[in-house]
Amino acid sequence: MSGKPKVSIIIPVYNVAPYLSTCMESCMNQTLFDIEIIAVDDGSTDGSGDMLETYHKFDKRISIIHKENGGLSAARNTGLKAAGGEWILFLDSDDYLAENACERVWREAKEAPTDIIVFGTETFPEYPKAGRWYYTALKEYRHRVHGFSPKMFFFTPGTIPYACREAFSKKILQKTGVTFDESVRYGEDLIFQCEIFPFAEEVAYIEDTLYYYRWVRPGSLTEHINDDYAMKIRKHISMIRTITDYWNRKGLLRKYGGAYYMWALDFLTQDLRKIKDKNKRNEVAAEIKEMLLQDGLTKYRFTIDPAQWKKYIKKMLVLNGIG
Residue 316 has pLDDT above 90, yes or no: no
* Domain contains 2: no
One domain for residues 196 and 278: no
| Residue 73 shares a structural domain with residue 145 | yes
Residue 114 maps to a domain: yes
Question: Is residue 184 one of the residues assigned to a domain?
Answer: yes
Exposure string of 76-109, with b = 16+ CB inside 10 Å and e = fewer, is bbbbbeebebbbbbbbbbbbbbbbebbbbbbebb
The answer on 238 and 160 residing in a single domain is no
- Write down which residue in 196, 219, 242 finishes a domain: 219
Within this chain, do residues 105 and 244 fall inside the same structural domain, yes or no? no
Query: Which domain, by its residues, includes 110?
Result: 7-219
Same domain, 93 and 202: yes
Listed range (144-153, 191-200, 299-308) with the worst mean pLDDT: 299-308
Looking at 219, 238, 263, the residue that finishes a domain is 219
Residue 48 located in a structural domain: yes
Per cent of the chain over pLDDT 90 is 75
Beta pairing, strands 96-97 & 87-90: unpaired
Of the residues 219, 245, 278, the one at which a domain ends: 219
Burial of 170 (0-12, 13-18, 19+ CB in 10 A): middle
Are 186 and 88 found together in one domain?
yes
pLDDT at 142: 83
Mean of pLDDT over the chain: 90
Q: Quick one: 65 and 191 in the same domain? A: yes
75 is a domain residue = yes
Residues 189 and 213 in one domain: yes
Residue 190 vs residues 57, 72, 138, 140, 217: alpha-carbon distances, Å: 35, 13, 14, 18, 20
Q: Same domain for 236 and 213?
A: no
Beta bridge partners of 146: 202
What's the CATH code of the domain at 19? 3.90.550.10
- 219 pLDDT band, cuts 50/70/90, is low
Which phi-psi region, left, alpha or beta, contains residue 71 (left: φ > 0; alpha: ψ -120 to 50)? left
Give 143-177 pLDDT, tens digit per residue.
899 999 998 899 888 899 999 999 999 999 999 99
**Total tally of structural domains belonging to the chain:** 2
Domain membership flag for residue 1: no
- Summarised one tens digit per residue, pLDDT across range 44-54 is 999 999 999 99
Dmax (CA) for the chain in angstroms is: 63
313, part of any domain: yes
Q: Percent of the chain at pLDDT above 70?
A: 90
pLDDT score recorded for residue 221: 52
Same domain, 98 and 175: yes
Average pLDDT over residues 230-258: 96
Let me know whether 248 and 205 are in one domain.
no
Q: Please indicate, yes or no, if residue 74 is contained in any of the structural domains.
A: yes
* 250, 288: one domain: yes
